[in-house]
Structure 1
Amino acid sequence: MKNLYSVFDSLNEEFAQPFLCNNHNIAKDMFIKDVRNIAKQNLQKFSDPDISRYSLVMVGSFDLNSGRVEPVDPYVIYDVKKDFDFSIFEKQIDENNKSRGLELQGDN
C-alpha cells in the first residue's frame, strides 16, 4: 500500500496531478525540495519567493496488489505558508528589495 498525494495551489484553487509515496516523511521531503527550487527560481525574477500558496495534501492510498485506489478526505500534510522556513531566503529577499528598480535606471 502506498499513499497518494497531491499539491494544492490556493491561488489557482486546484490540485496538481497526484503522485505515490511510501509515507508522509518521504512525500514531505520531496515536496520541500521542490518548493525550495521554485522559490530560488522565483527570487531571480521577483522580490518574494511566491511559494506560500502551495500545500501538500494526502488524497488517498493505492493498493499495489489489487490496483485499487482508496480515497480519503483530503488533509494537509505540509502547508508552506505555516510550516516553511522562509528565513533561508531572507538575504536574497533583502537584496532583491534593495535593487528593485535599479535595472530600469541603467537604461537612460
Structure 2
Amino acid sequence: MSGAAVTATAAPAEAAALSCPYPYTCLYDTNKAMMHRYQVVTSTFQPVSDGVDVVYGVNSRNDDVVFIRYTTGLVRCMPAGTPNTIYDVGYYGITNGIRIDSSSSCGTTIKLPVA
C-alpha cells in the first residue's frame, strides 16, 4: 500500500493553552504574551496590576476554579479541569483581581466566554 500521510496543521490547543504550566493560572495581553502567573489558593482576591491590558486567561488547575474580578465589581469564573481552554478575560472589562478557589465548580458564578 502506498500513499502520502496527511498532516493536520491545527495548533495543538493553542500551544497547550499558551504554555501555562500546571498548577498555575495565567493572564495574557492582546498578543497572547503572558503578563501574570498565579498559583496560591486564597480566600480573598489578589490584585491584578495592568488589568487594562489583560485580555486572555488560562486555568491549568485540575480541581480549582479561578474567579476574575472587574473594576465594575463584576466577578466571573474560569472552570477547573480545562487546561487547554483559553478564556476571553477581557470580555467583561478591566480585570483588577483574581482568586484561586479550592472549589471544583463555579457554582452560580457565570463562566467566562471561551476565546
TM range (shorter): 0.3 to 0.5
TM-score scaled by structure 1? Answer: 0.32
The structure that has the greater radius of gyration is 1
